[in-house]
């Protein structure tokens, strides 16, 4: 439970940090997202109920800090990010046996894909609301860029979280399950 | 799936349903409370970021400083000349105003605010400022700088407020173009690939034929934005099937914005 608590705190810190990380101009203004990487690590390391808890926490924070309320309209209802996180984390959770066998690369790739999927889903939702369906080069970069960055960051973040898990004597570590 | 997982899933579903049932007001209140809770962290983060930026920008070579000094000297001379010219114009304007019995120029009540964070999301263009309900700020108040319109407040907590920038597609501003009778609606682009996004001025007449360099101002229609605030400069104009559309360069450089003013009313 200590490790779960640490993950919850890290999600808050990462969510705040995202506000201060400037977008990447060389990647068509793509943003860097750290929270999805933490959530998807949690999906692999945590049992199902705690995974849902982490998705709920991250989704609430994301929606509360980014969703727009214009007049009497909410652009994307509070809760959609929770659902997105939970579904994608659920998929990652299903591939947990691979992680336990020490195959991290699949999850690093999937973390990137799932991060992009969240942004794509947001884009589709706002497009449905605002109308005019368009997919320009900038759109693809702004969807794919954060995914690529998440893929690159994932091994480092996973390694750090694995280290924290060891420090907090978290019993769900792959090595311990193997033992 | 074991029993614990099923119970967890049911609880998760119930909480999700609860959040999805939120209306606009409840969402706004919930957002305000989260922003309020995290505002100390945002303020700390903002000051740390400023310190890092100032250290980075402060590291200049002697050559750069000499160049900067020379440029500043030129600017200084230009500004002195402009200042003198403006004094003459001011005198003339005052004389004409008096002669035509013009109403005293309206002046707004402005509350200075500092940008705390910039947009962390891909699809929404917002910033947060360090002023809130305690400073008499409410939802839908215009935010400006001395250069022009920045946006309007959306979610307001006690000490922090979210400002929807003019470059966001959801920020729609009634506008008029100087020297013409053209009126239209300005909104941001959904996706912009750079730090200097453009604005769309839609619903112009096909005959508008706006020229690059013409200035667009708020027209005051709609009630949120007062008239006469500088919005941007026309970059191009094109005729579409039903209307004319102009692209505007925003009046304010939103990527380097640090201080703004919230318009709380008229004096």
Q: Answer whether residue A141 is part of any domain.
A: yes
For residue A22, the chain B residues in CB contact (below 8 A) are: 118
Query: Inter-chain contact B124–A66, Cβ cutoff 8 Å?
Result: yes
Q: Answer whether residue A14 is part of any domain.
A: no
Query: Inter-chain contact B118–A19, Cβ cutoff 8 Å?
Result: yes
Mean pLDDT in each 10-residue stretch from start to end of chain B (267 residues)? 86 92 89 89 82 70 82 85 72 59 56 85 88 91 88 91 91 89 88 75 88 90 85 90 89 84 82
Q: Answer whether residue B133 is part of any domain.
A: no
B180 and B229 inside one domain: yes
B8 and B27 inside one domain: yes
The pLDDT score that the predictor gives to residue B264 is 86
For residue A79, the chain B residues in CB contact (below 8 A) are: 16-17, 19-20, 22
User: pLDDT tens digits for A109-118?
Assistant: 999 999 999 9
Instruction: Going residue by residue through chain A, which has 179 residues, state the pLDDT in tens, using 9 for 90 and above.
Output: 788 999 999 999 999 999 888 888 888 888 899 999 999 999 888 888 999 999 999 999 999 888 888 878 888 888 899 999 999 999 988 888 887 777 778 888 999 999 999 999 999 988 888 887 888 888 899 999 999 999 999 999 999 998 998 888 877 555 444 33
Q: Answer whether residue A50 is part of any domain.
A: yes
Report ipTM for this prediction. 0.84
Query: Inter-chain contact B123–A122, Cβ cutoff 8 Å?
Result: yes
Check: CB of residue A24 under 8 Å from CB of residue A136.
no
Expressed as residue numbers, the domain containing A148 is 2-7+36-172
- CA–CA separation, A122 vs A127, rounded Å? 8
User: Looking at B57, B75, B94, which one is the last position of a domain?
Assistant: B57
Residues across chain B: 267
Query: Inter-chain contact B169–A74, Cβ cutoff 8 Å?
Result: no
Check: CB of residue A158 under 8 Å from CB of residue A108.
yes
Q: Which helix (H) or strand (E) holds A70?
A: strand A69-70
Q: Answer whether residue B181 is part of any domain.
A: yes
B17 and B42 inside one domain: yes
Question: pTM of the predicted model, to two decimals?
Answer: 0.80
Q: List the structure tokens of B214.
A: 């013409």
Q: B259 CA to chain A: closest CA distance, Å? A: 17
B86 and B16 inside one domain: no
Q: Tell whether B126 lies on the interface with A, counting CB pairs under 8 A.
A: yes
B180 and B244 inside one domain: yes
User: Looking at B105, B132, B161, which one is the last position of a domain?
Assistant: B105
B34 and B74 inside one domain: no
Expressed as residue numbers, the domain containing B72 is 60-105
B190 and B247 inside one domain: yes
The pLDDT score that the predictor gives to residue B94 is 61
Q: A112 CA to chain B: closest CA distance, Å? A: 16
Q: Answer whether residue A128 is part of any domain.
A: yes
Q: Answer whether residue B27 is part of any domain.
A: yes
Query: Inter-chain contact A65–B35, Cβ cutoff 8 Å?
Result: yes
Total domains in chain A come to 1
Q: Answer whether residue A60 is part of any domain.
A: yes
The residue among B193, B194, B198, B254 with the most chain A CBs within 10 A of its CB, best to mutate, is B193
B244 and B211 inside one domain: yes
* Minimal Cβ distance to A64: which of B9, B23, B34: B34
The pLDDT score that the predictor gives to residue B156 is 92
Check: CB of residue B43 under 8 Å from CB of residue B130.
yes
For residue A123, the chain B residues in CB contact (below 8 A) are: 122-123
CATH code, B201: 2.40.10.350
The pLDDT score that the predictor gives to residue B225 is 87
What DSSP line would sit under A136-169, residue for residue?
-HHHHHHHHHHHHHHHHHHHHHHHHHHHHHHHTT
Q: Tell whether B61 lies on the interface with A, counting CB pairs under 8 A.
A: no
Q: Answer whether residue B150 is part of any domain.
A: no
Query: Inter-chain contact A83–B194, Cβ cutoff 8 Å?
Result: no
C-alpha torsion A115→A116→A119→A121, nearest 10: -100
Q: Answer whether residue A28 is part of any domain.
A: no
Q: Answer whether residue B145 is part of any domain.
A: no
Q: Answer whether residue A87 is part of any domain.
A: yes
Query: Inter-chain contact B30–A68, Cβ cutoff 8 Å?
Result: no
Q: Tell whether B24 lies on the interface with A, counting CB pairs under 8 A.
A: yes
For residue B129, the chain A residues in CB contact (below 8 A) are: none
Helix residue ranges, H only, A48-136:
48-66, 80-94, 96-100, 104-130
Total domains in chain B come to 3
């Amino acid at each position: 439970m200590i490790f779960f608590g640490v993950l919850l705190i890290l999600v808050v810190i990462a969510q705040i940090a995202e506000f201060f990380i400037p977008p990447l101009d060389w990647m068509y203004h793509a943003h860097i997202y750290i929270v999805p990487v933490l959530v998807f690590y949690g999906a692999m390391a945590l049992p199902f109920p705690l995974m849902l808890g982490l998705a709920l926490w991250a989704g609430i924070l994301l929606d509360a800090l980014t969703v727009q309320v214009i007049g009497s309209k909410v652009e994307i209802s509070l809760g959609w990010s929770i659902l997105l996180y939970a579904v994608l984390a659920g998929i990652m959770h299903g591939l947990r046996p691979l992680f336990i066998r020490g195959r991290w690369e699949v999850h690093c790739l999937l973390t990137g894909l799932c991060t992009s999927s969240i942004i794509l889903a947001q884009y589709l939702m706002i497009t449905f609301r605002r109308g005019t369906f368009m997919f320009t080069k900038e759109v693809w970069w702004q969807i794919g860029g954060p995914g690529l960055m998440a893929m690159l960051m994932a091994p480092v973040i996973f390694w750090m979280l694995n280290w924290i898990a060891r420090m907090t004597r978290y019993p769900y570590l792959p090595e311990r399950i193997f033992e | 799936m074991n029993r614990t997982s099923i119970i967890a899933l049911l609880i998760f579903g119930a909480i999700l349903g609860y959040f999805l049932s939120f209306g606009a007001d409840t969402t706004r209140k919930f957002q305000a409370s989260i922003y309020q809770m995290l505002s100390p962290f945002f303020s700390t983060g903002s000051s740390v970021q400023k310190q890092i930026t100032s250290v980075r920008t402060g590291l200049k070579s002697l050559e750069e400083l000499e160049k900067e000094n020379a440029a500043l000297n030129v600017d200084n001379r230009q500004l002195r000349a402009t200042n003198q010219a403006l004094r003459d114009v001011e005198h003339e304007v005052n004389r004409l105003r008096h002669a035509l019995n013009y109403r005293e120029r309206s002046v707004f009540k402005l509350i200075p605010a500092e940008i705390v964070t910039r947009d962390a999301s891909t699809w929404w263009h917002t910033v947060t400022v360090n002023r809130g309900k305690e400073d008499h700020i409410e939802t839908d108040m215009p935010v400006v700088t001395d250069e022009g319109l920045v946006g309007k407040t959306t979610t307001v907590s006690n000490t922090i407020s979210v400002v929807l920038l003019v470059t966001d597609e959801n920020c729609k501003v009634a506008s008029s173009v100087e020297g013409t009778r053209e009126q239209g609606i300005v909104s941001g682009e959904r996706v912009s690939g750079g730090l200097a996004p453009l604005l769309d001025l839609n619903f112009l007449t096909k005959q508008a034929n706006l020229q690059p360099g013409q200035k667009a101002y708020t027209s005051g229609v709609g009630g949120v934005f007062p008239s006469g605030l500088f919005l941007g400069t026309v970059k191009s104009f094109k005729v579409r099937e039903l209307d004319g559309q102009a692209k505007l360069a925003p009046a304010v450089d939103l990527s380097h914005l640090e201080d703004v003013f919230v318009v709380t009313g008229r004096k």
